[in-house]
Chain A
């Protein structure tokens, strides 16, 4: 399942997509949990009883601000969460 967490508002579309099929058997030992400086990722048991990552609820409403520090304008050339997720399950829409 591709789970899109986030929102669209007047300033743009801010979604983090997690491909749960790639996430279930994480080959990166859940590196996203520690890679995100804001610790937005959390492991939950989804409706199909699989252990997958999701974005914590409060962060889903503030992604544009929460992720701003990791974007190129803040000096990063690649996003820490995407880099840490070697199976390639995480994508940003912006």
Chain B
């Protein structure tokens, strides 16, 4: 049986085509990923983007729509996936996928482009506690992106630059708009770019950490979402949370789509 999970994020569409295998034994051998596909829709309408990403993923996997038993959607734009049988929240999908990848994970931190959130999960990957920030982007990837733009750096350079700094400059502004003016002030006061980059990523990490602390830090901590690719942020988050290790999946942006496809598979039985 093949199921599909589509994660309609604010910046990208992720599709995971999952095959349920007839294997007895370790639960992690129960599924095989047929295809993980990502598309940046740009200014395309979300419903059109969902159709296009799904069709492209199917084509790359050599499958047809009728080969897929169920399509489930998650993410901020999940309601735009008209052909999805059901929608699940980002919390449910993220926790499911993270625990599948890391069975000891009990704290899942999801930081994407638009929103960051912290979740506590049980051994089955069911979210038992969650907190996000529904108001602003200051604890998410788009904040870091806006600040890297102000420093005329790519996000990758921005993350690497922050690792070169050992200074802690507090950023007081809670809002992206005001934070940008704080960054401009730091630039004018000739603060090295490395230090500014660290200050920004420390600020994002501190906001994310505040959400995670609401649910409590317990067991193995897994970070999912696009911000995993930012090494500077990962380092800042470890410091903020006071943990030695954070598990980082190889393809972190697909974890919610994976969880969504797993839930789709479970609900077909």
Contact = CB atoms under 8 A, between A and B. Distances in A.
B69 to A, nearest CB: 19
Contact of B214 (A4, A46, A48): A4
B71 to A, nearest CB: 16
A85 B257 CA distance: 35
B210 A8 contact: yes
Nearest to B134: A60
A61 B88 contact: no
Interface stretch (B122-130, B157-165, B217-225, B246-254): B122-130
Interface string B107-134: 0000000000000000000111111111
Given A7-B136, A8-B211, A47 B92 contact: yes
Given A15-B214, A47-B88, A5 B134 contact: yes
B191 interface: no
B81 to A, nearest CB: 15
Nearest to A10: B174
Interface residues of B, number: 24
Nearest to B129: A2
B129 A57 contact: no
A1 interface: yes
A9 B135 contact: yes
B133 A8 contact: yes
Nearest to A47: B92
Given A2-B215, A47-B92, A13 B210 contact: yes
Nearest to B178: A10
B207 interface: yes
Interface residues of A, number: 19
Given A10-B175, A13-B210, A4 B132 contact: yes
Nearest to B121: A1
B89 interface: yes
Nearest to B135: A7
B126 A48 contact: yes
Contact of A1 (B127, B174, B207): B127
A3 interface: yes
Interface of B: 88-89, 91-92, 126-136, 173-175, 207, 210-211, 214-215, 263
Given A1-B128, A7-B133, A47-B91, 16 more contacts: A1-B130, A2-B128, A2-B129, A4-B131, A4-B215, A6-B134, A7-B134, A8-B133, A8-B207, A8-B211, A9-B135, A10-B174, A15-B131, A46-B89, A47-B92, A61-B135
14 contacts: A2-B128, A2-B130, A2-B215, A4-B129, A6-B134, A7-B133, A7-B135, A8-B133, A8-B207, A8-B210, A13-B214, A48-B92, A48-B126, A61-B135
